[in-house]
Structure 1
Amino acid sequence: MTLLITNNLTKAYGPVVGLRDCTLEAGAGEVLGLLGPNGAGKSTLLRILVGLIRPTSGRAQIMGHDVTLNTTDVRKALAYLPGDARMPQSFSGKEVLRIWAGLHPAACHERSLSVADRLDLDLARRVGLMSTGMRQKLALAAVFAVDAPLIILDEPTA
């Protein structure tokens, strides 16, 4: 089953082209990594796929839904971790996971707690007192709480 298709996807920011003619396909069970230097368009592509920005031209579909026309259906089919995930600094890790689980219809708080345990996270600790690496692990635990056919991670090891 094909989960993701892009065809000649392009995004221009005025005179600057951030993504040019991206065509790709990914199926169920596949892992797809985007590699390239800063400014190559990786984050731009992901932001188009999750409906945060619109392409200048080309098409993208997730589970047969056009990402620019069916944003509600697209968002139900995926979980997304942005490269700059922000969390309330005064909240505990457990509070962040509970709130995150309530934001997505396919999220499971117990699953996020299980992932956090495997990542050896101290969920009682306030986010503001966590190291950058621990905050990133917390964000990953939140994303993997979602039972979605497609998980999109932008710079998951940053």
Structure 2
Amino acid sequence: MSSLPKGKSAIGSVKFEAKGKSSAAGSSSSSRATKRITTTRGKAEKKVYSLPGQKFDPPEEREPLRIFYDSLSKQIPSSEMAEFWLMEHGLLSPERAKKAYERKQKRQQQVRMGTPIKSTVRKDKPESSKKPITSSMDSKAKKRVDYSNDDDDFIVKMKRPKG
């Protein structure tokens, strides 16, 4: 073996792979290139992906986690959790992946700095959150406990709301 400085490794080979991928909607497919970098010293094989923020190979179509996060992003488009997972697995378009990567970097920076994270309110709220909130205490009778001098007995009376 050649003499290398301690802690340094030589690049043995670089392989390019083309991965077929179908979009979340399933209408079109494009190929994404990944590089495999192998080192002569170690077992570690590091892949370099073309999309920003991608860390993993895209899972198969019927993978349960992929189905979950695809459906979550369709039902709640503002879900950062789904967006980050889809970005890390290379299932977003390059434009959306870039935006999601920048948002994730900003979020991680805030966490490191100890800055409180304010949840962002988006325009596309679900229909269920638009309903006015009413207090259930107004419609129900309130309980009142009347303690008498006897230690053993107590009387529970229902207080009726006026009006």
TM range (shorter): under 0.3
Larger radius of gyration: 2
TM-score (norm 1): 0.24
Higher relative contact order (CA 8 A, sep 6+): 1
